[in-house]
Structure 1
Amino acid sequence: MTASRTGRLWRHWLLPVVAVVWELAARQAGAVYFPPPSTILVRLREMWFSGPPGQLFLTDEAVADLLPSLGRLMAGWALAALAGVAFGLALGRLEWLAALAEPLLHFGRSVPPSALLPVFLLLFKIGTPMQLASIVYGVVWPVLINSMDGGRHVDRGYLDTGRVFRLSAPTRLFHVILPAAAPKILAGLRLSVSLALIMMVISELYGSSEGIGHRLLEAQSEFDIPAMWAGIVLLGVLGVALNSIFLAAERGLLRRHAVARA
């Protein structure tokens, strides 16, 4: 095992320690609202991962709740990423547009996304459109702000080189401005992944009939505490997995960009 792998494993030593302490403390105290991790994991498997092999071990409940939640999360995040990068680069490169839009931009990002859920309910009614609108609104701001900052601070030498070679505007955008702003854009996208997960859950707490958030609310109303904690643990695992996948993709893109520039 290499030194780097050993270091990564060593950094995670606290997780099993916390799990063991939680297990022992919960069993000793007999706390109703804090069941031991073993009980939570058993309930997690029963709810979502005890299905047939042909269904990838997903239960019918998982298909009804987990897959729609992930679909809405990815669709909302993708829409927010496209809108945030496009408008952010436009604001970063066009000073007159930034001067007009920045006051509205700062006002909009100061409004908590959860405060607009009643508005989205009025506009889109209960269902996927309302949930997508909530996710997009909550996710778009870090992408837009970082894209604007990245587009605004492109090295002037790259731009001058593009002008000397008489590159067209689309070529300058995709081969000069976008690669130069990529580190800032990717940082905003990484922040937006966790926000997308949060907004997915919040949107499903309001009048939804499916999804992880709805299942959490249902478990809480039925005092099914292990099921409630199973949902919380699942959300934590999803957050870690999505962040890890994005970090790996980000490193690959930045490495490829560095090689291309070299």
Structure 2
Amino acid sequence: MAPAPVRHALLRWLVLALAVAVWQSVARAHGSVYFPPPAEIARHARDLWFSGPARHAFLTEDAVADILPSLGRMAAGFGIAAVAGIALGIAVGRSRRVYALCNPVLQFARAVPPPALVPVFVVILDFGAPMQIASIVFSAVWPVLINTAEGARDTDPLRIEVAAVLRLTPTERLRFLILPSALPRIFAGLRLSLSLSLILMVFSELLPGTANGIGFTLTDAQSRSDLLTVWAALALLGALGYLLNTGLLAVEKRLVGRGRTTTV
């Protein structure tokens, strides 16, 4: 009998396969140009983006123009937000007074809908990559910052007292005590930020003045009534979100593990 994790993985893929099969059957039976079958969408996506030469990792010129710029902007925005959020979150979370003063501002900033901030960055930075990256950073930083601050605040007081008795330096406390204790909350914030980064990446590329990216491909295909490309772009975004989240979960499992215990 297969191990439980293998059975769960097979069950998840079976559910996905059944959903795709139902979609395929319904789309073929309906025959609507607005609701193409998934096989046709996958074939179009392959021809559009993944039918290039092997020396270019099978990426076509359209893939280089559409996918790579989007991933570059998203990676830059998410990376800056992650580093800034963790650093500021640790600083805020380790001081009760600072946390009490900053918490209302943090909660207010987190409550602002991320797409609503894009016009502000357009006015400040004009259209282009700096505006797109800035909008991603400003929206994605708050989940990381708040979750990191909460994780730092939840550090066991007894361990802090033991660290003081052992005369650990601030750097050693940060490395061996605070960060390991806050890691689960940090990764919870990173997962939220990753989703926001993907959303803001696409939204910022829907605006006028954008010349490339997946969001640009969506608006361009919509203007040409190229519904297959629209569906292919949506499927690509879903696949990218799944792959990126899976990769982040793998890193979290490696660093945090199951049943982790911290030691001073």
Whether TM-score is above 0.5 comes out as yes
Amino acid at match of 1:57: F
1:231: Cα distance to partner?
0.3
What is the 5 A alignment of 1:93-172? 93-172=94-173
SS, match of residue 249 in structure 1: helix
Q: In the TM superposition, what is the alpha-carbon distance from 1:144 to its structure 2 partner? A: 1.1
After superposition, the C-alpha distances for 1:212-261 in whole angstroms (9 at most, x for unaligned) are: 11101111111100000000000111111111111111011013993774
Distance in 2 (CA, whole Å) between partners of 1:227 and 1:191 is: 28
Aligned-pair CA distance for 1:174: 2.0
Unpaired segments ≥5 residues, structure 1: none
With over 3 angstroms needed to count, the CA separation of the structure-2 counterparts of 1:110 and 1:7, relative to structure 1, is closer
Alpha-carbon distance in structure 2 between the residues aligned to 1:26 and 1:256: 42
Q: Who is 2:226 aligned against?
A: 224
Q: Which moved more, 1:11-20 or 1:196-205?
A: 11-20
Correspondence list, 1:31-110, <5 A: 31-110=32-111
Shift in Å, 1:22: 1.4
Q: 2:249 aligns with which of 230, 247, 257?
A: 247
CA deviation string 1:148-193 (max 9, x = no partner)? 1101110012211211121222221222111111111111112221
Cα pair 1:179 1:257 within 8 Å, conserved: no
In 1: Cα distance, 2:36 partner to 2:102 partner: 50
Q: Distance in 1 between matches of 2:112 and 2:185?
A: 23
Question: What is the Cα-based RMSD across aligned positions, in Å?
Answer: 1.8
Moved over 4 A (4+): none
Q: Aligned equivalents of 1:35 and 1:55: distance in 2? A: 29
Where do 1:10-49 residues align within 5 Å? 10-49=11-50
SS in 2 for 1:223: coil
Residue 234 of structure 1: aligned partner: 236
CA contact (8 A) 1:142 1:192 kept: yes
Amino acid of the residue matched to residue 42 of structure 1? R
Contact 2:176–2:263 (CA under 8 A) maintained in structure 1 = no
Alpha-carbon distance in 1 for matches of 2:260, 2:149: 21
Letter in 2 for 1:156: P
Structure 2 gap ranges (5+): none
Larger mean CA deviation between 169-178 and 79-88 belongs to 169-178
Q: Does 1:186 align with 2:157?
A: no
TM-score (norm 1): 0.95
TM-score by length of 2: 0.94
Q: Name the % identity.
A: 48
Q: Residue 17 of structure 1: CA displacement?
A: 1.5
For residues 73 and 259 of structure 2, the distance between their equivalents in structure 1, rounded to whole angstroms, comes to 30
Greater shift, 209-218 or 85-94, is seen at: 85-94
2:223 partner amino acid:
S
Bigger mean CA deviation after superposition, 23-32 or 42-51: 23-32
Supply the distance in 2 between the matched residues of 1:180 and 1:5 (Cα, whole angstroms): 30
Q: What amino acid is aligned across from residue 52 of structure 1 in structure 2? A: P
Cα distance in structure 1, aligned partners of 2:262 and 2:156: 16
TM-fit CA distance, 1:115:
0.7
